[in-house]
Structures are given as structure tokens and as C-alpha cells.
Amino acid sequence: MDAAIPSSLRHMRPYALDGALLLFDRETGWNALIDGPETAHLRRAAPRVLQFALSHRCNLACSFCSRDADAKALWTGSSAFDFLSEMARAGTMEVAFGGGEPLVFKGFADLVRRLHDETPLGVSFTTNGTLLSAPLLRSLEGKIGQVRLSIYEESDWRAQVRLLRDTGARFGINYLVTPARVERLQDVLLELVELGASDLLLLSYNGADPALHLSDAQLAIVDRDLAAIWRALSTRAELKLDVCWGGRLPSLPRAMSPEEGCGAGRDHLVIHSDKTLSPCSFHHLTYPFETAEDVLRLWEMQRTPMRAATAAPGCAREPDYGLTRARRRLPILEAR
């Protein structure tokens, strides 16, 4: 296979997909996806990405957060490093820290630097932004792929975006599109770009609260508005949709076809603070583990169950996104 890789791409780290080869440069974020007869025999050896909650602790108390704030915190900086090093040796390419709020984890910056310096892993993290500071960002310069800032009305996200911009950090925005945000979606996205953001990831809601799922009419508005703003932003910013949207925004061009599906459980796994894993952040399945070897075994052995749609409505693995499931019924008292 090496012979088939153009010499200009050989500095990139290879990762075998099922029938294809992915090359990744963690310093620039460039990926090259190669497929053809030459790659047909290739098979994955490890999950490509680990979404990692070092702790489920957070300095905010957002009750909508899907993390279990009471989950045991079993990781130390050292044990997380050892585990991730082993996963990197097995083939994992990237770790994306989330939480809980990763910046409340003691020694987080040291862990990031060590992972960058001593492993080939690409390291990123998602934060609520409240603990970001210029010294912290400077200390991580060159060590992280990017910072992803989640936008909450309750926090001063404008100041956080300015800080990221002013310190030259490479960053992107995570923005959950809820019914309340539909009307001003364009305004907020444009303001984010004006503030200096150039990578905007729009998340769809997964969960049981019907008030947070977009109606068909709202989806149509989002589809229309995003198509317009996508053209308007043109080269100024990248607009991205998370995979959970599926095909619900048909007017928007997709880099990868929604039919290629969601990689939860195969391409990526979520590692929780209590040493359990899940296919994705919203999934009802959890598996306890101790070692990297356990994770690789579960990843291989539990492939079929982890292909299931999550019980939470909004999952693109359900034909109807799980949004038309029968209303919950109270069991009749005769059941006594």
C-alpha cells in the first residue's frame, strides 16, 4: 500500500478503514481518504477517535447535560496517558476531550502536552469556555488540534470567542440548534464569524424533550437559512453539520453523504470517567472496561449491538429519527 501513497502524503499518519485508507496530519487537520482496488483488503484495527470524559465534573450546572455528574472519576492524568498511549499503538488517531468540563480536570494541560509530545495522537477538546485563559491557551500552543467552544446563552461566549481569536488559538464553534434558536440562527452565525470564528459546527438535538426537537416547519426554515448563509459565508467560514442531522437538511451540500452513516461504535467511541464506554454521547449502551485491551475487545465483539440506534429520539440511525415513536403510556392499574 505504501507504494500507492503519493510521496507528498507520506508524512501523514495512516489509518486503515474498512476497504479504504485514511491519512491524517494532526498538525494541520488535513485528512486524505484513499480508496480503490489497492485498499479493498484493509480493515480497521482500532476506533479512529476516542471522545474522552476524564471527569464528568463541570463548573457549570446545566441540567440538560447528558453526562452523569455522579459518575465515578476513575482517571488520573497518568492512567489516562497510559491508556491513550496503548490505544494509539493499536491505531487510534485522535482523542477529543469533553466532559464534564475538561478544563476542571487537574493536570489537563500537562496531559495534553504529554500526549502530543510522546504519542502520535491528535488531541482536541470541547469546552464551555468559562475556564479558558490566555496563559492556558498559550501553554497549549502547537499541542492541540483545535479547541471547540460550546455556545451557551448563559455564558459570555462573545468574550470567549474574542479570547480564542486574540490568542491565535485554532478553534471551532459547537452550536446546538433548538427551536428557540431557529429564528436568530443566521444572526448568531454571522456574529460568530464577525467575532473571528471560522469553523461552525451545528448540532442537532438528541433527547427526550419534544420541545427541543425541530418541527418540520422549523427544519425547513433552518434548511433555507443555512443554505443562504452557507453561500454568504463562502470562503470566510466553514459550516458543518453533525452526523445526527442525517438527511434532514437537504439543501445543504455535504462533504460526506449522509448515507455513509454514523460511525458511532465503530469509527469513534465515547470513554466515560467511570471507565465505561458507549458508542456515542447519547447512546443508552454502556460497557465497563479496565484496559485498552478490554476496549479493543468490546469494540470488536459488541460491534452489532453498538450499531443500534440510541433510545433517545433524534438519532439518524432511525428511519424517522425516533421522533414518531408511540407516546409513553402509563401502565394500567389492572397490572397490579
Partner 1 sequence: MRIRFFRAWASNNSGAYVLLGRFRDVAVAEAAARELNQMLAVQDAWTETEPNAVGTAPSKVFADRHGLSFETGWPSWRRGMRCEVLGNQVLLEGHAAYMPPMFVGWIAKHGGHVETEIVHAHGAIIVRGHAWVRNGSRPESRDAAAQTLGSFAERVRDDPEVVAALAPPRWGKAGRAVHVTSEGPSIDIVLAPHEVTRATKAIRALADAEGVQLNLHVFEWIDAQLDPAALVAAAAGTPSYDVMLGDPGPTPERVSTAIVETTNLDPELAEAYVRDRPHPRTGAPPVWPRAIAQRVTEAHAQALLSAIREAGATASMVPADARRRFGSPA
Residues between 91 and 110 that touch partner 1 (CB under 8 A): 94-99
Q: Using alpha carbons, select from 147, 79, 93 the residue that is nearest to residue 121.
A: 93
Q: Which residue matches cell numbers 480564542?
A: 164
With respect to partner 1, which residue has the nearer C-beta, 59 or 251? 59
With respect to partner 1, which residue has the nearer C-beta, 136 or 195? 195
Decide: helix, strand or coil at residue 68: coil
Site for partner 1 in 26-85 (CB under 8 A): 26, 28-39, 49, 51-53, 59-71
Asked whether 178 and 212 are in contact (CB, 8 A), the reply is yes
With respect to partner 1, which residue has the nearer C-beta, 35 or 224? 35
Stretch that binds partner 1, among 83-91, 131-139, 227-235, 306-314 (CB under 8 A): 306-314
Phi, psi of 321, rounded to the nearest 5 degrees: 60, 20
Site for partner 1 in 281-300 (CB under 8 A): 281-282, 284-288, 298
Asked whether 47 and 61 are in contact (CB, 8 A), the reply is no
Q: Is 105 exposed, middle or buried (0-12, 13-18, 19+ CB in 10 A)?
A: buried
Rule CB under 8 A: say whether 133 interacts with partner 1. no
Rule CB under 8 A: say whether 10 interacts with partner 1. no
What are the Cα distances from residue 306, in Å, to 15, 64, 123, 151, 284? 21, 24, 25, 29, 10
Site for partner 1 in 139-178 (CB under 8 A): 145-146, 148, 150, 153-159, 172, 174
What single-letter amino acid sits at 169?
A: A
With respect to partner 1, which residue has the nearer C-beta, 2 or 153? 153
The HSE-up count of residue 294 (CA atoms within 13 Å, CB side) is: 10
User: Per the structure block, which three cell numbers stand in for 75?
Assistant: 482517571
End-to-end CA distance of the chain: 65
Residue 51 CA from chain centroid, whole number: 7
Rule CB under 8 A: say whether 313 interacts with partner 1. yes
Stretch that binds partner 1, among 74-82, 132-140, 245-253, 302-310 (CB under 8 A): 302-310
**Ramachandran sector of residue 315 (left: φ over 0; alpha: ψ -120 to 50; beta: rest):** beta
Site for partner 1 in 236-255 (CB under 8 A): 242, 255
With respect to partner 1, which residue has the nearer C-beta, 43 or 329? 329
Site for partner 1 in 113-132 (CB under 8 A): 122, 124-126
With respect to partner 1, which residue has the nearer C-beta, 231 or 327? 327
Binding residue for partner 1 (CB under 8 A) from 19, 168, 250, 305? 305
CA dihedral of 46, 51, 55, 59, whole degrees rounded to 10 = 170
Least Å from the CB of residue 78 to partner 1: 21
- Residues, the chain: 336
With respect to partner 1, which residue has the nearer C-beta, 65 or 252? 65
With respect to partner 1, which residue has the nearer C-beta, 118 or 209? 209
d(CA 214, CA 225): 14
Least Å from the CB of residue 39 to partner 1: 8
CB atoms within 10 A of CB 109: 19
Least Å from the CB of residue 82 to partner 1: 20
Site for partner 1 in 178-237 (CB under 8 A): 201, 203, 206-209, 212
With respect to partner 1, which residue has the nearer C-beta, 11 or 335? 335
Least Å from the CB of residue 286 to partner 1: 7
